[in-house]
Amino acid sequence: MSVLIIYGTKTGTSEKCAKYLADKLGCAVTLVNARDGIKIDLAPYDTVIIGASVRMGHIASSVSKFMEDEEEALLKKRIALFMCCGFTDKENINRQLELNFPPALRNHAVAIKCFGGELHTDSSNKLEKFVAKMAFRADGDIDLTPELDYKAMDELADIIKSYSLQEAR
Ligand SMILES: Cc1cc2nc3c(=O)[nH]c(=O)nc-3n(C[C@H](O)[C@H](O)[C@H](O)COP(=O)(O)O)c2cc1C
């Protein structure tokens, strides 16, 4: 199994999740921090995991663009999606997933998981903290101390590993 994990991150949480997943998968994994204009050759990979954090309702535009540009190629791969966010209620999590990940990729994905989030007070400036509070207050369940959901990360890794085991048989 050859896996690409491409992620969009602002303060490092999604990167931390991507690295945790890579460790759990225990196979050849290429980690890529999505940047604007990034072009990746998907040919070497049978599995692509795409993840990003949500800020003000949106994931990084570089990740959205990657999904848009590569949709056709991604539909020929095994894919999984993850999202890091501050909301903890299903309604807001699903709303943000639906808004940010194209339906074709969501339907095709073998797993879609929310990994929770972290609020980095030291690296988010005061204005951002204020804005984050406003974002949460405006829309639903407030969790100003979000936590990462390692169980969800383990579940996603196990799903991917189960496919590679099936192939090995
Ligand atoms: C300015 C700001 C805005 C945010 N907006 C949202 C949001 O709209 N929805 C949400 O669920 N989480 C929101 N969050 C929480 C982030 O998704 C969370 O901190 C995440 O762990 C950040 O991951 P990253 O370091 O990979 O960017 C926001 C956080 C900040 C600092």
How far apart are the CA of 167 and the centre of ligand 1, in A?
A: 37
Sequential pLDDT tens for the chain (169 residues): 899 999 999 999 999 999 999 999 999 899 999 987 788 999 999 999 999 999 989 999 999 999 999 999 999 999 999 999 988 889 999 999 999 999 999 999 999 999 999 987 655 566 776 777 666 655 555 456 679 999 999 999 999 999 877 777 7
- Phi then psi for residue 80, to 5 deg, are -140, 150
**Closest-lying ligand 1 atom to the alpha carbon of residue 10:** 27
Split into its structural domains, the chain has a count of 1
pTM for this predicted structure: 0.92
Q: Whose CA is nearest to atom 21 of ligand 1?
A: 117
Q: Which of 32, 40, 109 is nearest to 75 (CA)?
A: 109
Q: Domain span at residue 129? A: 2-168
The DSSP bridge partners found for residue 78 are 47
Domain of 72, CATH number, reads 3.40.50.360
CA of 117, closest atom in ligand 1: 21
Contact 84, 116 (CB under 8 A): yes
